[in-house]
């Protein structure tokens, strides 16, 4: 695991976008696994800037998002499909047919989940997976539980996730209670993983991911076993870890 600690959110976004753009330049038809939420916004802003100012070409890129709320239409402002359009997909020259997000309005969740895994596998898997991390250590919507789940599946969101994500909704009651999330297999099979985290609310989860036991109660801990993972954090998200002590003690 490589850990890069930078000054602030904007620098996290620049560093993550640098790694993603390198993948796009090396492999123009790459498959990117993407995340939503507050953390990747600076990354997507920087990718859009690179598209506009540096000609970063998305015309052959395919994207697969990690998750979607069950029950929200793609044009619902809080759906992850809407988020992705708003922050990246409608702002670069990616082909609509190359962008994929689990269908939150499906009537056949099981079939939708297995078809999503098959689509990723048929395309040769993900070349790079971008991840955020939940305060409870979730990745995608793989919530803490008794076992790691390999396949894309339906998940009941934990109270902590519902509370954390209520900031995007008018009130907590409006947050969907269930979602579709890709499982650990497509994440762990990605050629490269870039995990980003900012702010002190993530410090405990980042610490448990980096140093904790590999247990399903901290889904992100499984990432310790991935051979090509770069964790990009700001100082606040690293606070309290022994790595932070050694990095910052010289100042």
Nearer to ligand F6R, 131 or 244 (CB): 131
What SS3 class is residue 65?
strand
Distances in Å between the alpha carbon of 221 and those of 135, 142, 191, 198, 213? 13, 12, 18, 17, 7
Q: Which residues bind ligand F6R (CB under 6 A)?
A: 35-39, 66-67, 80, 132-134, 138-140
Residue 228 half-sphere exposure, CB side, CA atoms within 13 Å?
Answer: 13
Q: Report how far residue 9's alpha carbon sits from residue 3's, in angstroms, rounded to the nearest whole number.
A: 15
Identify which of residues 201 and 242 has a Cβ nearer to ligand F6R in the complex.
201
Is residue 7 flagged as an active site residue? no
- DSSP codes joined into one string, 114-163: HHHHHHHHHTT--SEEEE---TTS-BTTB-S-SS---S-EEEEPPHHHHH
Annotated active-site residue 143? The verdict is yes
Q: Active-site residue 138, yes or no?
A: yes
DSSP state of 235: H
Given 9, 15, 143, 204, the catalytic residue? 143
The least CB distance from residue 37 to ligand F6R, in Å, is 3
21 versus 38: smaller Cβ distance to ligand F6R: 38
Give the nearer residue to ligand F6R in terms of CB position, either 195 or 245: 195
Minimum distance, C-beta of residue 248 to ligand F6R, in the bound complex (Å) = 23
> Of 31, 136, 142, 165, which residue is the catalytic one?
136
* Annotated catalytic residue, options 9, 15, 67, 68: 67
CA dihedral in degrees (77, 80, 84, 85; nearest 10)? -40
Q: With respect to ligand F6R, which residue has the nearer C-beta, 61 or 101?
A: 101
Residue in 87, 100, 138, 207 annotated catalytic: 138
136: annotated active-site residue: yes
| Cβ at position 15, least distance to ligand F6R in Å | 16
Residues designated catalytic: 67, 136, 138, 143
């Amino acid at each position: 695991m490589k850990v890069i600690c930078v000054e602030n959110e904007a620098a996290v976004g620049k560093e993550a976008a640098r790694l993603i753009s390198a993948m796009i330049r090396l492999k123009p038809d790459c498959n990117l696994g993407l995340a939503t939420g507050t953390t990747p916004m600076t990354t997507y802003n920087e990718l859009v800037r690179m598209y506009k100012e540096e000609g970063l070409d998305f015309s052959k890129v395919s994207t697969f998002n990690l998750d979607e709320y069950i029950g929200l239409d793609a044009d619902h402002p809080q759906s992850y499909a809407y988020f992705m359009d708003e922050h990246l997909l409608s702002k670069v020259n990616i082909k609509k047919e190359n962008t994929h997000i689990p269908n939150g309005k499906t009537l056949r969740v099981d079939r939708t989940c297995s078809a999503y895994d098959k689509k990723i596998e048929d395309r040769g898997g993900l070349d790079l997976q971008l991840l955020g991390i939940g305060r409870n250590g979730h990745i995608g919507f793989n919530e803490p539980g008794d076992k790691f789940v390999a396949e894309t599946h339906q998940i009941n969101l934990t109270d902590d996730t519902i509370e954390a994500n209520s900031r995007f909704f008018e009130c907590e009651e409006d947050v969907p209670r269930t979602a579709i999330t890709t499982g650990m297999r497509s994440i762990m099979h990605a050629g490269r993983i870039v995990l980003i985290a900012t702010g002190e609310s993530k410090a405990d989860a980042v610490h448990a991911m980096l140093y904790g036991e590999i247990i399903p109660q901290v889904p992100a801990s499984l990432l310790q076993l991935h051979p090509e993972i770069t964790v990009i954090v700001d100082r606040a998200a690293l606070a309290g870890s022994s790595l932070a002590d050694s990095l910052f003690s010289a100042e």
